[in-house]
Chains A and B, each alone.
Chain A
Amino acid sequence: MTGTTDLEVREGVDRETVEAVQNMGSYKYGWNTEIEMEYAPKGVNEDIVRLISEKNGEPEWMTDWRLEAYRRWVTMTEPKWAMLNYPEIDYQDQYYYARPKSMEEKPRSLDDVDPKLLATYEKLGIPLKEQMILAGVEGAEDAPSEGRKVAVDAVFDSVSVGTTFKDELAKAGVIFCSISEAIREHPELVKKYLGSVVPQSDNYFATLNSAVFSDGSFVYIPEGVRCPMELSTYFRINAENTGQFERTLIIAEKGSHVSYLEGCTAPQRDISQLHAAVVEIVILEDAEVKYSTVQNWFPGDEEGKGGIYNFVTKRADCREARAKIMWTQVETGSAITWKYPSCILRGDDSQGEFYSIAIANNWQQADTGTKMIHLGKNTKSRIVSKGISAGQAQNTYRGLVSMHPRATNSRNYTQCDSLLIGDKCGAHTVPYIEVKNNSSRVEHEATTSKVDDDQLFYCRSRGMDEEEAVALVVNGFCREVLQALPMEFAMEAQALVAISLEGSVG
């Protein structure tokens, strides 16, 4: 690893950025945008919490809510039950607020957006039309869009910089904006639902997030509305040593429907970066939410240096009858992944689904899975988890299926498959199954094996090299989950599977 990192001085573009770009190596998204950043001092305390709240122009009730969370957080201890080993995190050695300097005055229109940010989106592969809109091209809104429309709420480090398709969404009554805007513009909704799925006290990382979350997305789909396009947020962590604390709140009113895409890339960095996001989803009667994630943050280099520490709390509350949530995730990045998108099946006949691909290569460690809490009658859940370990990586599926006494006639089916590539990695399965009534049926199956030699040989005899063959076979292994993704995402995810496994064979 070349380039030592200066932790102390942060003044806009620095030499590490240049070095980082030079050291891109095999990480496709390992570049850094040269944008001047504004930082709050390192560390977290009540003043920092107040500062974040003030910078976001928040009302007093929000500041108080954050402070309440902070005061609770200092009494809590970091959970250690996951099969993850990482150096102690010094929470006082992190930045809790950073944003591009050019954003200090919020842009009135997208024309004001720093062109370098727009270039960032291009590298991220944000579709052309959205780029045009983000770039403020005249008439872009009315330009024919190729294929399906996607509305993007791009988050650059801590501040949401632009939202597209706002008008069209507004016509449908859909609110899609940054959470900080929602706090200002829709306080009644935020007050009612924020923390109602993931309470302030939920867990160490969620509590920290409640205190210091910088920004994130807010989605409100009114009763009976089918969101006219897929909503998408691209997250990036760009500033070195900046904790990324996103907060997302999605509310689907009765009979509504929305598909939400979250994609993440981050530039290569030498020092591990902390990320603790919270996603809350409230789903009312007959409503349906699809939440898809492709996460390919910097996983650290081949020697295990650097990479994101990703501690995420995601939870959907199927609060009323026949509500439905579908989580799909493709987790290929981060040095440490601690993430359990969960479903509370409270309403009768509600349904939860979790489809996951987790790839851990080199020195990555992933501890991820889901919780299916069956509270209502006739509730159904399905878990399909595909874990792939390569290099020296450790990959754990951890999940809970709980059938409460009142959740009669409910069903769960869980399939957890692990694939090992190489003899130095690990694949682990830690399911918790709690069944407290007898009319429900719970089935759990798990397998662990290596890549099938016959399949590899077959592919290679048809001319593929070993790496291509492995990528193909692994994609086949993941098929069920890839199929659950929206089409554009599925393509990207398939490519990512191959990229993530580069260097894992031979």
Chain B
Amino acid sequence: MSDIAVKSKAEVTPQVSGNPKAAAALDDRLAAITMPDAGFSADARADAMVRLRAMGLPAPRDEYWRYTNPSAFNAATATALPFDADGAESPLFTGRDKLTLVFVDGAFDAAASDDLSLEGVEITTLAKADAAGDHWAAGLYGQLELAGQTPVKRPFAALNTAVAHDGLLIRVTGKPSKPVHVLYRRGTADADAVWHHVIRVEDGAELTLLESGMVGARSNGMLEVDLAKGAKLHHIAAKRANDPKVGLSHIFARVGAEAQLKSFTLAVNGTLMRHEGAIDIVGDDAVAHIAAAVLGDGNVGPFHHDDTVFITHGAERGESRQVFKKVLKNGATGVFQGKILVKQGAQKTDGYQISQALLLDDNSQFLAKPELEIYADDVKCSHGSTTGAIDEEALFYLRSRGVPYDRAIVFLVLSFLADALSEVEDDDLRDDINDRLEAWLTTPPQN
């Protein structure tokens, strides 16, 4: 028989960091963290720590860190960044009936939050649950993160599982009347916030999850999402605009049969951000859409935004969409690393991915690695990626109708972002976001 075994490349080349310097950097990183008193999550945390030590912190030469320098995430402590503690909170999502849960520097603030009761939803916090020995989240905490480590190692996700003190454990059994809103606040200038949410949506249940506000000077957020048969999660994250931050966010999800995951992120300025997605479609006829609209203006502050999103189809007739739009100017950098991976047997998969950058000046850059990795034949998968300036033809058309130059640019930027925004299902929420975008574009910078 063949002497050439055909396996996925990643399965045979684990990224092991045998470098003593790298090991020392990880030691320093861990030494600066106060470890939580783990209860139900103790085993998962111990396992994550072992995995983290095996893979080490990322290095700039690592394949998926070639476009984003990991040093600020690797540093032992966060660098203090100025913030406006008294500043008004973003008007986004105001005027909507919602259950608001407040986190300050990664820790739940019960006093500032609404009562944790909502029909069809069971909510506890990680810190509280960890005080006890057992919890429904025991089979999930760190498990989806673990699944997301293949085929690419994600050390900060493992770090998060190992060291997160707090987060929300949300179990949805019905169709709650209002969204759950996680509002982040910053307490100190050098806050190094880590949180880990686990969301389980049971058969046929639905939840809308909103995230907004100010995260730490440095942050590492994890959202583990487990969708049972026919479950739906609509997730919209819009961190506070123009807020200097070094942030990592993760969404690691398992999407069951007929379930639907829709996740949309809005990012407007803010130093260095990396969003990692690892979405596993495990049930037939499931849907996963991940989208982002990103605006970066290097004049507001340094700007580097990285979306590294993998969607894996492991079941039949799955539909996935990745829609990433970045508008960059004044030395801003946008990164997109996306993959559609279709496993053998995942027939009738419909996978689509689009990554586009609008460069408003010559200083900005877009670096993209849009991948397809496909092991099933009866599939329809495609991706596109474009980079360029404002469409001169459209700009002239608008101006010839009397629309002033600046206003025309705003129109064209909104036009460019429209495909990403259309991934927000709820009309009111989408209009909210569109209005905020327009406000930011018209009179930057404000929150």
Contact = CB atoms under 8 A, between A and B. Distances in A.
Give yes or no for direct A-B contact (beta carbon below 8 Å). yes
Interface of A: 80-87, 300, 303-305, 335, 363, 365, 392, 394, 403, 405, 408, 418, 420-450
B393 interface: no
Interface string B336-376: 00000000110100000000010111101111111111111
B389 interface: yes
Interface stretch (B2-10, B45-53, B103-111, B220-228): B2-10
A426 B151 CA distance: 16
Contact of A450 (B5, B377, B386): B377
Given A85-B5, A85-B7, A363-B2, A428 B373 contact: yes
Contacts of A80: 13
Contacts of A423: 344-345, 347, 376-378
Contacts of A394: 6
Contacts of A447: 380-382
B60 interface: no
A231 B217 CA distance: 63
Contact of B362 (A82, A433, A438, A441): A438
A304 B367 CA distance: 37
A438 B388 contact: yes
A438 B386 contact: no
B4 to A, nearest CB: 5
A83 B341 CA distance: 14
B88 interface: no
Contacts of A426: 6, 373-375
B377 A304 contact: no
Contacts of B124: none
* Most chain B CB atoms below 10 A, which of A84, A392, A408, A444: A444
Contacts of B385: 431, 433, 442-444
A386 to B, nearest CB: 14
Contact of B369 (A81, A84, A431): A431
Given A363-B2, A441-B386, A446 B372 contact: yes
Contacts of A434: 365-368
B372 A432 contact: no
Nearest to A440: B388
A435 B3 CA distance: 41
Closest 3 pairs (CB-CB, A-B): A304-B2, A438-B359, A420-B377
A81 B64 CA distance: 12
Interface in B262-286: none
20 contacts: A81-B63, A85-B4, A87-B3, A303-B1, A304-B1, A392-B6, A420-B377, A421-B377, A426-B373, A428-B374, A432-B367, A435-B366, A435-B367, A438-B389, A441-B389, A443-B384, A444-B385, A446-B370, A446-B383, A448-B372
A428 to B, nearest CB: 5
B6 A405 contact: no
A363 B4 contact: yes
Contacts of A83: 9, 373
Contacts of A441: 386-389
A138 to B, nearest CB: 50
Contacts of A427: 372, 374
A448 B3 contact: no
Nearest to B386: A443
B337 to A, nearest CB: 10
Given A405-B362, A445-B382, A446-B383, A303 B6 contact: no
B386 to A, nearest CB: 5
Contacts of B4: 85-87, 300, 304, 335, 363, 365
* Most chain B CB atoms below 10 A, which of A363, A408, A438: A438
Given A423-B344, A429-B371, 17 more contacts: A85-B9, A85-B12, A300-B4, A305-B2, A418-B372, A426-B374, A426-B375, A428-B374, A432-B367, A438-B360, A441-B386, A441-B387, A443-B384, A443-B386, A444-B386, A446-B382, A446-B384
Nearest to B353: A446
Given A422-B377, A445-B382, A446-B382, A433 B3 contact: no
Nearest to A83: B9
Contacts of A87: 3-4
Nearest to B365: A436
Contacts of A449: 379-381
Nearest to A335: B4
B66 to A, nearest CB: 9
A421 B360 CA distance: 43
Contacts of B373: 83, 426, 428-429
A305 B12 CA distance: 21
Nearest to A448: B381
Interface in B26-65: 63
A433 B357 CA distance: 11
Contact of A433 (B12, B361, B367): B367
A311 to B, nearest CB: 15
A448 B369 contact: no
Nearest to A428: B373
B362 A408 contact: yes
A448 B382 contact: yes
A441 B360 CA distance: 12
A430 B6 CA distance: 18
Nearest to B13: A80
A342 B63 CA distance: 21
Contacts of A440: 387-388
A280 B417 CA distance: 43
B377 A439 contact: no
A446 B380 CA distance: 11
Given A420-B377, A427-B374, A435-B359, A303 B2 contact: yes
B386 A428 contact: no
A443 B367 CA distance: 13
Contacts of B380: 447-449
Contacts of B2: 303-305, 363
Nearest to A80: B13
